[in-house]
């Protein structure tokens, strides 16, 4: 299997092996698209992302892989009481990977950074709130293959 898929699977394993304040079961998908009816439930989807390589010299390379974690739900109400816990979950996931930088399933892979995906400076997609009545946040994790 591709390294990026292996890393995404290891991220799913790490998420599902940890107890978060808000329970969920993460899954990996290349296309996290759900029906409106399905969005009533919380979805945490791990999406294989980008790849960057840098030559370090004398045959050494540095490889970085990006994995995105989408947190999505269309709660019954769109107020702070429904959305604050979703924002909190995204922060909890971010903090989990920054505190536990190595993936247990792949110890030669280390989490370098966690940031909101491009275009979501607020940490969520306001257009999804407005147009879809749905919370969507995408956290981009960058992993480096060491060794």
pLDDT at 125: 87
| 82 has a pLDDT exceeding 70 | yes
Give the domain range for residue 23. Answer: 3-145
Using the predicted structure, report yes or no on whether residue 22 has a pLDDT greater than 90.
Answer: yes
Tell me the average pLDDT across 68-78.
93
pLDDT of residue 88: 95
Domains identified in the chain, total number: 1
pTM: 0.91
- CA-CA distance, 98 to 116, in Å (whole number)? 14
CB 139 within 8 A of CB 132: no
Write the CATH number for 16. Answer: 3.30.2000.30
Over pLDDT 90: what percentage of the chain? 63
- Looking at residue 8, what DSSP letter applies? H
CB within 8 A of 14, min separation 6: which ones?
A: 96, 97, 100, 103, 104, 105
Local structure of residue 117 (DSSP, 8 states): P
């Amino acid at each position: 299997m591709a390294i990026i898929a292996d890393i995404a699977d290891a991220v799913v394993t790490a998420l599902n092996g940890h107890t978060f304040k808000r329970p969920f079961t993460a899954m990996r998908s290349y296309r996290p698209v759900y029906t409106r009816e399905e969005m009533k439930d919380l979805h945490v989807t791990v999406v294989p992302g980008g790849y960057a390589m840098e030559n370090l010299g004398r045959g050494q390379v540095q490889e970085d892989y990006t994995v995105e974690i989408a947190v999505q739900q269309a709660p019954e109400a769109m107020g702070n009481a429904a959305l604050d816990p979703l924002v909190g979950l995204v922060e909890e996931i971010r903090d989990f990977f920054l505190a536990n930088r190595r993936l247990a399933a792949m110890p030669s892979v280390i989490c370098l950074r966690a940031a909101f995906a491009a275009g979501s400076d607020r940490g969520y997609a306001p257009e999804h709130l407005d147009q879809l009545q749905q919370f969507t946040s995408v956290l981009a994790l960058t992993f480096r293959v060491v060794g």
